[in-house]
Chains A and B, each alone.
Chain A
């Protein structure tokens, strides 16, 4: 059919011409984007500098990190369970926004006694954490903060992260038993949530020295070996 080569030729022409215009104009306009340095400026998930708080209810990374290290905050991951399993803030609990209604009641006991409940997701303009924070405030939780672009910033600063399954809140134990975070290798979903709670216990700060986290991962792997459902600790898990 004669139309097919015509369509292909025209499409390639449009793509080429638009690219030519785009890069030529970008080169001369004062606010053009740096194309050659894109890898440096765009892929480094987030700038290292701690962003200032831009609105009420947001918490700066350095403040969130301090609360994390002293075990005074509980982190809630607003992303999907899948993204959570790929990597999350160490000790964070998974509470996807769209599962809030079903999961919140089971999770509620884990939020008590903390100075801050910090919701996070990923991306400069990701609204999931804001939506989760709103749900939490509507549910009566008062000390709710949003760590904007939390997952990217947390990784960029090499703060402790973990990978692997943790229980959806609806499957978590409502009254978890404390357990040392460094030795936890939960084989079940419930145990993973318990580990998350234990990692946030004030008496046992989860990672007072961030550099110990990878060591814990190796020790953990040696001691227990990889197991399905196991939450492994690391500081540079890939997203």
Chain B
């Protein structure tokens, strides 16, 4: 029996919010480390590295809160999908350029010297799954929001 759209909407939003909470936690606690990771991507001018490193975890946290609470939900779901798309493209570009492939997606810890490094394709694949989840959540949310109230 298929899940009713409103139930699916809630489950998906809750799952996406958990991902966002988890992603933001370590970055909020260690802004210096996260700034180093942002810098390592070599896509932002130096003057924007710290502001983005400060702002991004809070954006993720607020998106998660919106998704769970139901406030500004359509905007939050769409913005999350856009955010994940940007992250995914950044990973692909960094991989193609051969630079600084430490993801920084969920942890700010640098890779241990000499330790086995996580393959970049793993990060890209994982982010593709998360992007799929975010897009599906946004699609379901917008469908539910577009329905007339019962």
Residues of A within 8 A of B (CB): 3, 6-15, 17-19, 21-23, 25-26, 31-35, 38-44, 54-58, 78-80, 82-83, 96-97, 121-128, 130-131, 134, 146, 148, 239
Q: Which residues of B contact A10 (CB under 8 A)?
A: 66, 72-76, 79
- In the bound complex, do residue B50 and residue A35 qualify as a contact, i.e. CB atoms below 8 Å apart? yes
Known: A23-B55, A54-B113, A127-B111. 12 other contacts (CB 8 A): A7-B78, A10-B74, A10-B76, A13-B75, A17-B62, A22-B59, A121-B100, A123-B40, A123-B100, A123-B102, A124-B110, A130-B113
- A164 to chain B: closest CB distance in Å? 17
- In the bound complex, do residue B75 and residue A39 qualify as a contact, i.e. CB atoms below 8 Å apart? no
- A95 to chain B: closest CB distance in Å? 11
How many residues on chain B are close to A (CB under 8 Å)? 48
- In the bound complex, do residue A26 and residue B114 qualify as a contact, i.e. CB atoms below 8 Å apart? no
Binds A, one of B4-12, B28-36, B84-92, B125-133: B28-36
- A-B interface pairs (CB < 8 A), number: 165
Q: Which residues of A contact B99 (CB under 8 A)?
A: 79-80, 83, 121-123, 126, 128
Q: A33-B50, A42-B39, A55-B113 are in contact. Are A22 and B74 (CB under 8 A)?
A: no
Q: Which residues of B contact A22 (CB under 8 A)?
A: 54-55, 57-59
- In the bound complex, do residue A125 and residue B113 qualify as a contact, i.e. CB atoms below 8 Å apart? no
- A194 to chain B: closest CB distance in Å? 24
Contact indicator per residue, chain B 39-74, by CB within 8 Å of chain A (1) or not (0):
110100111111101110111011100100000111
Overall SS of chain A's interface: helix
Distance, CA A124 to CA B49, complexed state (A): 14
Within 8 Å of chain A (Cβ to Cβ): is B98?
yes
- In the bound complex, do residue A83 and residue B75 qualify as a contact, i.e. CB atoms below 8 Å apart? no
Q: Which residues of B contact A83 (CB under 8 A)?
A: 97-99
- A144 to chain B: closest CB distance in Å? 11
- In the bound complex, do residue B142 and residue A3 qualify as a contact, i.e. CB atoms below 8 Å apart? yes
Within 8 Å of chain A (Cβ to Cβ): is B101?
yes
- B39 to chain A: closest CB distance in Å? 5
- B126 to chain A: closest CB distance in Å? 17
Q: Which residues of A contact B73 (CB under 8 A)?
A: 10
| Nearest B-chain residue to A146, judged by Cβ | B113
- In the bound complex, do residue B46 and residue A38 qualify as a contact, i.e. CB atoms below 8 Å apart? yes
Q: A34-B50, A38-B49 are in contact. Are A25 and B58 (CB under 8 A)?
A: yes
Q: A14-B66, A19-B58 are in contact. Are A126 and B102 (CB under 8 A)?
A: yes
